[in-house]
Amino acid sequence: MTSNQRPPGAGGPPALDAKTGVQDFVTRRFGRHVQYRVANDYTSKNGVRHVYLRQTINGVPILNGDVNINIDANGNVLNIGSTFVRRPELLERAEAALARGVDRQRLSPAQAVLRLANYLRIDLDEEGLVPIAYASADFDAEDEATRPVALFAGDRLSLDRIEVRMAFVHTETRGVELVYHVNIRQDEDWLDVGVSATTGEVVFAVNWFSRSGDYRVYPLGVNDPYDGDRELVHKPHNLSTGSPLGWHAMDSRTSFTDTRGNNVYAQENLSGRRTGWENNYRPDGGADLTFDFPIDFTKEPVENLDAAVTNLFYWNNIMHDVFYEYGFDEVSGNFQENNFSKGGLGNDAVQANAQDGAGYNNANFATPPDGQRPTMRMYVWNQETPMLDGDYDNGIIIHEYAHGISNRLSGGPANSNCMSSAQAGGQGEGIGDCMSIILRWRQEYNRDTVFGMGEYAAGRNIRLYPYADDMEINPQTFEFINGPQYTGVHAKGGVWCTMLMDTYRNMLDQSHWDEDLYKGDGANNQFLQNMIDGLKIQPCNPTFTEARDAIILADQVNYNGANTCAYWRGFARRGLGQNATAPNLGRVTEDFTIPLECL
């Protein structure tokens, strides 16, 4: 794709005449050999005219050959985007293929439809494919080249009759390929498909249905039942580019109405078994994908299983989609069954077990290398009667998923052992705590707000100190990790998250908080971006000082160092200043020095 944009006030091509200007402009830019038709042409209320062109070959469209031209009220071209095919030899070969007609090298329309049925795993043979006679006059409104070349009864394949048209698709490997273009509308899918006219392969398949629905959950900004109410969230996948087919489809052939999809399989695992989870119970949202289930907290967690699995499914998808926007994507080793040819290894959606019977009063996340399925196990907490379900403590879910992110990013997605040393393991725990706080943060929160971890499920803060800016409430500094209470990774993680939260508050002081976690530009967005990129930059099993330096370097790359001093002041306040030392073995030494440029 090419795109050119003219900055405001810059010189550019002469103003376009309303009628002939676009045609002349396209001819000058792409040459007389390029054919096209106007697909759309309209003017917005701001006076900008939007012209959309579709490339053609002898009237037959190239389905991914498009140009969009945006023109201001004075006729000046603001910018242009193009996927037009310009190489004459590709266009000539495509024209010759079109002229050849059905022969040994080209399938018939009926053969193409049968190939498509096989692709969709629908049992249909030649006898079951019923042609419909029609006259050209039935399609007088269309150009001859875009009229159907065949019509069939939908039968088991489509709710509508099947209209087969000729088209082209530009592919990287086979040039401009002739295809049969078909729409298939089914109960739960509406597919736009191109079948190769020579090989019968499905060249593309786009589902026009958004395969995601409504979920009654504790949403973003609500940590647990003590922190706020459930809401019925509508099509949350639309907020991100990370789930192009929604949350319940893996491809055009594989979709579900229960809590399975491309990013996560969520189900109960009451037995605690490590095998056979594929067939465990999952709530079903029906054809309209509505997951709206009641909760009765006077009953034991097992009586509210549908709501628990739904909340777990929702939050695994939220974590996937939010952090996709920050770069935890296919090539970085994220968790997806289908990577949509974007790199990385697939077949590794999260196995998320609700009310896992393997234990109590905990949760965990196992992260193998890219291409192998991770496992999240959420447990019931039995310290109260009735027991409490960790599947409603979003902070715990976020924390566990964060282990998957840090383990895949640190050292690269093929190495899952780069957060395993004492200090790096602590960082992994701290990152999980910090992510949970950032995702529950609200506009009204400030330096006086104090956060605990696991307060709903455990009934108390499960860290040595709550996360607070006040040094009397949370006195932790770097050398605390030398103490006997800090031999474990969770205690070290409390120190790391304390440091990170100090830097975050500093960033908020100089910027703003943005409610949009996906596309926003606030301090919270920049904090998460630098955290993700810092994980990619840092060495395998980093010390605290190495992880600090990686985050600061990420900020210099991402934001030209706009937050560097905010980071240094936060780290140094907690003893991770310029001269702190952090050997992997032995005692660390703290330092409170800030670079001169930040004083």
The whole-number pLDDT of residue 41 equals 85
The whole-number pLDDT of residue 104 equals 66
- Cβ atoms 439, 398 nearer than 8 A: yes
- Spatial neighbors of 202 by CB under 8 A, at least 6 apart, are 115, 116, 119, 193, 194, 195, 196, 252
Q: What does CATH list as the number for 421-599?
A: 1.10.390.10
CA angle 502, 490, 563 (to 5 degrees): 25
Question: Nearest Cα to 588, choosing from 549, 555, 544, 553?
Answer: 544
Distance, in Å, from the CA atom of 108 to the CA atom of 110, rounded to the nearest integer, reads: 5
CA angle 428, 430, 435 (to 5 degrees): 95
Domain 250-416 matching CATH 3.10.170.10: the answer reads: yes
For 535, phi then psi, to 5°, come to: -60, -35
DSSP state of 72: -
DSSP state of 282: -
At 580, the amino acid letter reads A
| CATH value of 2-85 in 3.40.225.10, 3.40.50.300, 3.30.470.20, 3.10.450.630 | 3.10.450.630
DSSP states along 503-542: HHHHHHHHS---S-TTT--SHHHHHHHHHHHHHHHSPSS-
The whole-number pLDDT of residue 452 equals 98
The residue whose two tokens read 């875009």 is 146
Q: Do strands 214-217 and 202-207 pair parallel, antiparallel, or not at all (unpaired)?
A: unpaired
Mean residue pLDDT across the chain? 91
Q: Tell me the residue ranges of DSSP E strands in 228-345.
A: 231-234, 264-268, 290-291
Give ranges for CATH 3.10.450.40 in the chain: 92-207
Distance, in Å, from the CA atom of 248 to the CA atom of 475, rounded to the nearest integer, reads: 46
Give ranges for CATH 3.10.170.10 in the chain: 250-416
Give ranges for CATH 3.10.450.630 in the chain: 2-85
Q: Which residues of the chain are modeled with pLDDT < 50?
A: 1-3, 5-14
Q: Which segments of 460-515 does DSSP mark as H helices, in order?
A: 489-510
Q: Mind telling me the catalytic residues?
A: 400
Give the CATH fold of the 92-207 domain. Answer: Nuclear Transport Factor 2; Chain: A, (3.10.450)
pTM: 0.74
Q: What is residue 193's three-state secondary structure? A: strand
Distance, in Å, from the CA atom of 244 to the CA atom of 370, rounded to the nearest integer, reads: 21
Instruction: Calculate helix-pair angle for 544-559, 489-510, nearest 10 degrees.
Output: 30
Distance, in Å, from the CA atom of 294 to the CA atom of 31, rounded to the nearest integer, reads: 63
